[in-house]
Chains A and B, each alone.
Chain A
Amino acid sequence: MVVPLLVKDLRKDYLVKGKVTSALRGLSLTASRPMILSILGRNGSGKTTFVKIATGQLIPGSGTVEIFGHDVISSPASVKGLISLVPQECRPWGHMTPREHIYHYQRILGNSREGARDRVQFISDMLRIGSFMDTEAVNLSGGQRQLIVVGMSLSAEADIYFLDEPTIGLDVITRKNVWEGIRYFRKLGKTIVLTTHYLDEASALSDEIAVVSEGRLLAQGTLQQLQNMLDYNTRIRIPAGFAKGSLEPYGKVVSESQYEILYTDEKRVEEIILSAGLLKTRIEIGPVGLDDVFISLVGGSIED
């Protein structure tokens, strides 16, 4: 099968007033089959730079991006029609309604009038934005405007969707509507490349997660695979000031403002509770999450 996305050793320097910023320093990642691939990384780690290169906006320094076997960099025209994009911080035209946005985007994609109208209806139902479809964007809220842009992008019948922080500013319920939409596309066999700072979103949606830092890939895999990379599989949250010294022998202790977090092995939980005298305090026990993986991976590389 043709690989939806294959990125190899991508490099990009920005030159601003004689000063060079290396945004990508040999980024490689792959979506080997149709999937939801989330890209996580701190601010400035190069996610948007990657998306801009992959969607034919930006010329890289070196490296390759292949989309379904087509080389984006040497022949950008070959991938047109295959990709769709929600750019980071994209906004709709103030003077137009959501319906007009999606309709005209469809027309720009070459759809017939009827086909465009059908697509508008489909997106309106999917994202549940029917109630404000005919309101000019200036009169909509920030999240509602964001939905217009997401709706435009999802209205395209592409094979791979690059969504750069698509759910920013959306409330919990609305966000889940977008997730549903993304999952629906995934079921249709589409590939979705998602960047997000919401780790719960990445956990809930992703088939695979790629963690990038300073323009390089640190790790890519399923949530489970990433969790397995940690030395501990269990997290115990204990109110701060509670016997910190006595926790050290059981694993790794990290202090947060009101809590101590003890990373440890699931098998030792009972023993710890009894011997560290945790029975009388309110503690939370759970598996390590994506945030633990993220902090451990990215935190490590920042210290270098």
Chain B
Amino acid sequence: MKTSIIRDIRAWQSFTMLNGLIPIFRRPLALVAILSTPLSFLFFVDIFSHGTQLLVGSIGGLIFTVINAATMLQSDLLFGKIDLKFQQMIATTGISPLVYVMGMATGDIVFILPGAIFFLGVIVYLTPVTVLDVALIIFAAFLTWVFFSLFSYMISRKVREMREIWPISVIFGIVFAVIPPIYYSLNSIPVPFQYFAYLVPTTFAALIIKDAVANSLGSLPIPLFVYFVETVLMVVFATRISDWRQQTI
């Protein structure tokens, strides 16, 4: 048929349509739901800090929102696999699992885009950032999206029932978007805990964004490098294990 790259693009577009662009207009409530938690956090951070931590709350909100896309993806992949058996139909088309996963993940971006733009807007409004800084922030968000979308794919391979994913998604959100230092500064916790924080990839996302807005680009290369390498390793690993076939489905 068509060369495989054109095919992949067509498939990708369709996954994005069916998981993002079509439902968003027909089921817009999800938009509100996705914004509600980070906006509430922003509200509380602002109240309790008497307005001094609005920037931190927005950085946290941005990362939280991207992680939200990845948790949505968990439900979407499982729904397609278990409830609809849609994944089984896709498997026979010859499309690679990663095109499917990332196409669906792009669909979920559609849902978080308004929130992400809002938080980015607040960050830009509050700080004198340059175009390069904004590019760095978007790049950090992009790495987060890739890393955690693939992570969600791995989780979805293991889960065999819809009910199992809800608790997993909640814990996933807490572990990657609430506990690590994205809503607060890494230096505000005791040193031993800082080492633990470095185990969580979102810590690096927050470091990159905080360095970018603080115009302290001098310390930026290290988190940027680490996060980039982590994401590349994730892509390599996901590519290696990706397979439609499983021992049980």
Q: Is A239 an interface residue (CB 8 A)?
A: no
By the criterion of a CB under 8 Å from any partner CB, how many residues of chain A are at the interface?
41
The B96-146 residues at the A interface (CB cut-off 8 A) are none
Contacts of A107 in B (CB 8 A): 10-11, 13-14
Is the beta-carbon distance between B18 and A59 smaller than 8 angstroms? no
Residues of chain B with a CB closer than 8 A to A81's CB: 1, 93-94
Decide yes or no whether A58 CB sits under 8 A from chain B. Answer: yes
B27 CB, nearest partner CB in chain A, Å = 6
Which chain B residues numbered 20 to 72 have a C-beta less than 8 Å away from chain A?
Answer: 22-23, 26-27
**Is there a chain B Cβ closer than 8 Å to A117's Cβ?**
no
Q: Is the CB of B91 within 8 A of A56?
A: yes
Check B17 for interface membership: any CB of A closer than 8 A: yes
Q: Out of B14, B23, B246, B248, name the residue touching A104 (CB < 8 Å).
A: B14
Taking a contact as CB atoms under 8 Å apart, the answer to whether B245 and A59 are in contact is yes
Known: A110-B1, A110-B2. A152 touches B245 (CB 8 A): no
Whether A76 sits at the interface, judged by CB under 8 Å, is yes
B92 touches A95 (CB 8 A): no
Q: Report if A110-B11 is in contact (Cβ < 8 Å); known contacts: A57-B244, A90-B86.
A: yes
Q: Which of B23, B26, B86 has the most CB of A within 10 A?
A: B86
Interface of B is mostly: helix
A55 and B10 within 8 A (CB): no
Q: Which residue of A lies closest to B103 (CB)?
A: A108
CA distance A157 to B238 in the complex (A): 30
Contact B88 A57 (CB under 8 A): yes
Nearest CB of A to B157, in Å: 12
Q: Mark B230-249, 1 if CB is under 8 A from A, else 0.
A: 00000000000000111111
Interface residue A100 (Cβ < 8 Å from any Cβ of B)? yes
Q: Which of A52, A76, A136, A156 meets B93, CB within 8 Å?
A: A156
Is the Cβ of B17 less than 8 Å from the Cβ of A104?
yes
A14–B27 alpha-carbon span in the complex (Å): 38
Q: Assuming A55-B88, A80-B92, A90-B89, is B15 touching A108 (CB within 8 A)? A: yes
| Nearest chain A CB to B85 CB, angstrom units | 4
Alpha-carbon separation in the docked complex, A70 to B4 (Å): 20
Tell whether, in the assembled complex, residue B84 and residue A56 are in contact, meaning their CB atoms are under 8 Å apart: no
Q: Which residues of B contact A156 (CB under 8 A)?
A: 92-93
Question: Are A57 and B91 touching (Cβ within 8 A)?
Answer: yes
Q: Is B178's beta carbon under 8 Å from chain A?
A: no
In the bound complex, do residue A95 and residue B248 qualify as a contact, i.e. CB atoms below 8 Å apart?
Answer: no
Structural contact, A153 and B86, CB atoms closer than 8 A: no
Q: Is B95 an interface residue (CB 8 A)?
A: yes
Q: Min CB distance, A13 to chain B, in Å?
A: 10
B186 within 8 A of A: no
- Report the Cα distance A137→B244, complex, angstroms: 26
Is the C-beta of B191 less than 8 angstroms from some C-beta in chain A? no
B244 and A52 form a contact (CB under 8 A): no
Query: Are A108 and B95 in contact (CB-based, < 8 A)?
Result: yes
**Contact of A124 with B by CB under 8 A:** no
Whether A108 contacts B84 by the Cβ 8 Å rule is no
A110 near B7: Cβ-Cβ < 8 Å: yes
| Interface pair A84/B92, CB less than 8 Å apart | yes
Tell me, in angstroms, the Cα distance from A86 to B249 when the chains sit together: 16
Q: Check: B83 CB closer than 8 A to any chain A CB.
A: yes
A76-B244 CB under 8 A given contacts A85-B89, A110-B1: yes
Q: Hey, which chain B residues are within 8 Å of A89, CB to CB?
A: 85
A59-B245, A110-B6 given; A95·B94 CB < 8 A: no
What are 26 sample pairs from A and B whose C-beta atoms fall under 8 A apart? A52-B88, A52-B249, A55-B91, A55-B92, A56-B91, A56-B244, A58-B247, A76-B245, A80-B92, A87-B85, A90-B84, A90-B86, A91-B83, A91-B84, A95-B23, A96-B22, A100-B22, A104-B14, A104-B18, A107-B13, A109-B11, A109-B93, A110-B2, A111-B1, A136-B26, A156-B93
Known A16-B248, A108-B90; 11 more pairs at CB < 8 Å: A58-B248, A83-B92, A85-B89, A92-B84, A93-B84, A95-B22, A96-B18, A100-B18, A100-B22, A110-B2, A110-B6
The 3 A-B pairs of least Cβ separation, nearest first, read A80-B94, A110-B7, A90-B85
